[in-house]
Structure 1
């Protein structure tokens, strides 16, 4: 067997361990303190609970060793009995003699007389019932009646109920309300921690005579993970690991041996994982997550860069820069008129230099002929023009003559001062989508002192601000977005509205 191979004096993980070699963790010591506290009280019930294999029996053994000299104890390990059978078991454990098969009342009287005699001799009586979750309601009520026996200072019988957590739920029933009220101390033993599991294994190996490390650190962690920190499960798993290690001639128990032991222990529900397959699975999940995140980031970035409002702002800024670089229309027309005027002046001077002088009357008639030719008025046109038409034609001619004179004077001013003509002001509006139906209430769209007008286009209603400069429009858009949470976009002022803006400006 593996004891000889690992130089062990005995099986270190046997469930039958003497009270001298019990491993008591911090929680086990707290449980002992709780049991002693319950005994020092005036009497009643003490409740000790824990999961299966949590070490409740080890605590009871340690406790019995402490009170063996001061108490007469009865330990009941199989409580699945009737009231009559339970009282018979108590009499047997306390060495109370009886004949035949007494009735329930006779058993009760015998126990009461024993308790009185024991108290008179200065002894206390203690009954411990293990696996108490299997007790019936009637048996628990019979135990409560036994604790009614008391003196002026204390109860004559003290009871300790040991069981799994189901016992706590059972005592919450209305039928057992009086039993629950008699409980003077309670303690629940939790599972061992990682460090306590390692200390538990090393303690049992030292008790068995092996003082060198036998389990690798990774194996100790694996034992705790698969056993859940339950001492009984630790014993089964470690014993199976020693058998496998002996079969494989392994001097040290590693994590692979623990994994094999887990697969051969049906009581363990958590099976060992395949580290390679787990690594591949985690790697694939990480790769998929990264791809999804990158796709999401690129999509959001593209959507943000191509928002309708941003495209409108970029277009507006581009048009503004082009208009700033391009020469104003007035300047172009003046330059053309300037060049044509200078050419006409040169032609006139050259003509005058080769033409003989003309009398004033002839000069006046020449001017009239020239004007007729310039403005394309024939004799037939003059005769057919009515009086209103004549007045209108004269007004038109006078306006053109004045425009020519103004242009010539502007040309002279440009040539003398070299000043530039400023460009016209560009206007923009803020626009808000209002839906397919005409909005009756504009309160939710209003922000600060920005006035909005309702406009209808292509079966859609829009709310449009007054005409603004580009800087004003950007400032208003930022205000409505940040402070009023209203989505808007900047739009150049439509040509159909420019006449209205000009009349207002």
Structure 2
């Protein structure tokens, strides 16, 4: 919508996790270092936890892009499945095609056979499970048993769990102690402080080809205040603020556009604090129809 208006090559604040837009702040650097060390060691589970919107999936995609040809990555996004469905998903990720009516024990045999095959090709297998806090207890137990697969020298598969803080609560349960004890490395992604948030905004705008003054200083400070440093919320607010500025024909996002974006997104930002009524952003965007040529800009 607004790319040409702001002379951008791509959207700087898309909600879709984009490894090319990856911002390497302190927390992200620590998490990547943890992952790199853990994968070199080749043993134990790895846990990366963080609140919704703190960038776990983006971090995961960045990691996948960094891994060389010596790795085979299996990535499971839907973790809310039963043990048999989980094994079928893993088999598929490993390149094994199986029918849904195959008995569970035979699926495990096929998985083990494929893991041995990959090991003979000097491939290190990494299984990444997103939204791991949603995994049922029986599926987690199946995962633990799969982690036991090994040769005489090393594990056949290494497992990375990505999850919200509820994952920590789940693993802290008494009946989860066997799995919890196997987590050798862990890191936490937290909301950004103001310095990181300002750098995050500047980095994304620069990667998208925009000017460093796309947002005023007051607008950037307000974006941090409303988002509390959460990257996803920051993206939502910044994108809406850009749309509002575009609708007004402005070349720079000011405090007023951020306030309008926050008013429209109060559910997302989790606060009732707002300076404009709920209709503020809608009215702002509707102005595009009134601006001469505005309707054409939307096309």
TM-score by length of structure 2 reads 0.88
Retained in 2: the 8 A contact 1:129–1:160?
yes
Secondary structure of the residue that 1:126 maps to in structure 2? strand
- Kindly indicate whether structure 1 or structure 2 has the higher relative contact order, using CA contacts under 8 Å at least 6 residues apart: 2
Measured in 2, the distance between the counterparts of 1:138 and 1:182 equals: 17
Q: Deviations over 1:50-108 (max 9, x none)?
A: 11110111111111112241211110001111000000001111111334521110010
Larger Rg: 1
Measured in 1, the distance between the counterparts of 2:208 and 2:40 equals: 36
| Unpaired runs of at least 5, structure 2 | 277-299
Q: How many residue pairs were aligned?
A: 275
Retained in 1: the 8 A contact 2:28–2:59?
yes
Aligned residue number for residue 194 of structure 1: 194
Secondary structure of the residue that 1:215 maps to in structure 2? coil
Aligned residue number for residue 346 of structure 1: none
Aligned residue number for residue 419 of structure 1: none
Measured in 2, the distance between the counterparts of 1:241 and 1:20 equals: 22
Report the alpha carbon displacement of residue 152 of structure 1 after superposing the two structures with TM.
2.7
| Unpaired runs of at least 5, structure 1 | 276-505
In the alignment, is residue 116 of structure 1 matched against residue 99 of structure 2? no
Alignment of 1:206-221 (within 5 A): 206-221=206-221
Report the alpha carbon displacement of residue 251 of structure 1 after superposing the two structures with TM.
2.2
Report the alpha carbon displacement of residue 18 of structure 1 after superposing the two structures with TM.
3.9
Measured in 2, the distance between the counterparts of 1:274 and 1:203 equals: 28
User: Cα gap change, 1:71/1:164 in structure 2, threshold over 3 Å: closer, same or farther?
Assistant: same
Aligned residue number for residue 30 of structure 2: 30
User: Cα gap change, 1:263/1:274 in structure 2, threshold over 3 Å: closer, same or farther?
Assistant: closer
Secondary structure of the residue that 1:133 maps to in structure 2? helix
Measured in 1, the distance between the counterparts of 2:203 and 2:99 equals: 48
Secondary structure of the residue that 1:246 maps to in structure 2? helix
User: Cα gap change, 1:17/1:78 in structure 2, threshold over 3 Å: closer, same or farther?
Assistant: closer
Measured in 2, the distance between the counterparts of 1:142 and 1:274 equals: 51
Retained in 2: the 8 A contact 1:262–1:271?
no
Measured in 2, the distance between the counterparts of 1:13 and 1:194 equals: 18
Report the alpha carbon displacement of residue 135 of structure 1 after superposing the two structures with TM.
0.3
- Alpha-carbon RMSD: 1.6
Aligned residue number for residue 254 of structure 2: 254
Retained in 2: the 8 A contact 1:77–1:131?
yes
User: Cα gap change, 1:120/1:181 in structure 2, threshold over 3 Å: closer, same or farther?
Assistant: same
Alignment of 1:378-393 (within 5 A): none
Measured in 2, the distance between the counterparts of 1:154 and 1:196 equals: 39
In the alignment, is residue 16 of structure 1 matched against residue 16 of structure 2? yes
TM-score by length of structure 1 reads 0.53
Report the alpha carbon displacement of residue 269 of structure 1 after superposing the two structures with TM.
2.0
